[in-house]
């Protein structure tokens, strides 16, 4: 059995780590394609090293730019690889451009697609990730849901001809494994962590200014690893000097996975617009302040462990000062064996 896996961003790399290991353990041939969507070294290569992922068999090195151009370049590159490798199935992860490109290229060649993290939904119709995920789900024969909410959404949508499997969240598997393996202490520390990268925030001068002002004015220690795209906009909008001059804010370059887990594990609260980081925060018992009006994983919101502040200075400030979660911390993301269930489902569905 031959599987072609498409990755391109930090969340993809994290999920691929354990899947790759499980494929090897079962003697499954995996061809790994890195689209190059995260082109910065710190956003890409370091994850392969820290998570023990082998070097990609193919690296497309797709250029940045308009979404349509980037998607087209990925589809063209992946299509050539598919024609050469002739896999039994293509495996895609999450909701990024690489996900959509891998799914589109495969179905055009009548190669079935398995989608890890299928079924996550929001009401943000024009959000790029929402478009990628919904389209990829429609194209996939095997829909692998990471939480009950996602499974329920897929069931309601009635994906005729597709199999839906509730596996749990592989991000949970990797995170718990990393904390245990490296004996990382998990505690509510004396600093907050901030991550920002969504286009709705960083490409909008007003939204980015509102969030930056909240970080500066809160007066509490904030550690802010700055995504390359975010740094570019901070410079362009004239915000970088004030941010870096603030005594309470510590900016840094993007961090590797292990370094970021250590940082997150010791944080008090997390301010983020990331769908992945809000899950990592929840798994580690950190209250999350969501700086975007999009509610991925409503189960965390209903449980009282995140608050949707949006890109608003006063709302974020209030949450930093007063938001606290309840004592109850339900297990939404599985038993730490999602990677095994994912490989089981793939082999059952597509194995000869």
The DSSP-derived string for 78-140 is HHHHHHHH--SEEEEETTSHHHHHHHHHHHHTT--EEEEEET---S-TT-HHHHHHHHHHHH-
Tokens standing for 116? Answer: 């890890």
User: Which residues, in sequence order, are CB contacts of 294 under 8 Å at separation 6+?
Assistant: 122, 124, 127, 200, 273
Tokens standing for 310? Answer: 């949006």
Q: Give the Cα separation of 184 and 18 in Å (integer).
A: 19
| Inter-CA distances, 158 with 125, 154, 161, 336, Å | 19, 7, 9, 28
Tokens standing for 48? Answer: 């392969």
If you ran DSSP here, which 8-state letter would residue 51 be given?
T
With contact defined as beta carbons under 8 Å apart, do 320 and 269 qualify?
Answer: yes
Q: Count of CB atoms within 10 A of residue 204's CB?
A: 16
Instruction: Give the residue numbers annotated as catalytic, written as ranges.
Output: 197
């Amino acid at each position: 059995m031959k599987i072609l896996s498409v990755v391109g961003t930090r969340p993809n790399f994290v999920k691929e780590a354990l899947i790759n290991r499980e494929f090897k353990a079962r003697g499954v041939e995996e061809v790994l394609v890195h689209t190059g969507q995260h082109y910065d070294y710190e956003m890409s290569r370091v994850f392969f090293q820290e998570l023990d992922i082998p070097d990609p068999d193919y690296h497309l090195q797709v250029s940045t730019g308009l979404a349509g151009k980037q998607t087209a370049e990925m589809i063209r590159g992946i299509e050539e690889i598919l024609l050469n490798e002739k896999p039994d199935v293509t495996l895609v992860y999450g909701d990024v451009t690489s996900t959509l490109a891998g799914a589109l290229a495969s179905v055009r060649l009548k190669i079935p697609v398995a989608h890890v993290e299928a079924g996550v939904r929001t009401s943000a119709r024009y959000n790029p990730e929402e478009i990628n995920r919904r389209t990829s789900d429609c194209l996939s024969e095997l829909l692998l849901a990471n939480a009950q909410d996602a499974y329920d959404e897929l069931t309601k949508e009635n994906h005729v001809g597709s199999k839906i499997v509730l596996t749990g969240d592989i991000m949970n598997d990797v995170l718990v494994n990393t904390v245990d393996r490296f004996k990382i202490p998990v505690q509510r520390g004396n600093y907050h962590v901030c991550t920002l990268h969504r286009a709705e925030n960083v490409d909008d001068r007003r939204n980015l200014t509102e969030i930056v002002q909240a970080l500066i004015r809160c007066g509490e220690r904030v550690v802010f690893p700055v995504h390359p795209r975010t740094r570019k906009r901070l410079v362009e909008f004239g915000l970088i000097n004030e941010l870096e001059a603030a005594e309470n804010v510590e900016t840094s370059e993007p961090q590797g996975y292990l370094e970021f887990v250590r940082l997150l594990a010791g944080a008090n609260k997390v301010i983020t617009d990331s769908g992945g980081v809000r899950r990592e925060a929840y798994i580690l018992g950190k209250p999350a302040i969501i700086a975007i009006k999009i509610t991925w994983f409503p189960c965390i919101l209903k449980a009282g462990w995140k608050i949707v502040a949006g890109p608003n200075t006063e709302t974020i400030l209030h949450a930093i000062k007063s938001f606290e979660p309840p004592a109850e911390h339900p297990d939404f993301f599985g038993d730490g064996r999602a990677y095994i269930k994912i490989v089981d489902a793939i082999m059952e569905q597509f194995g000869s």
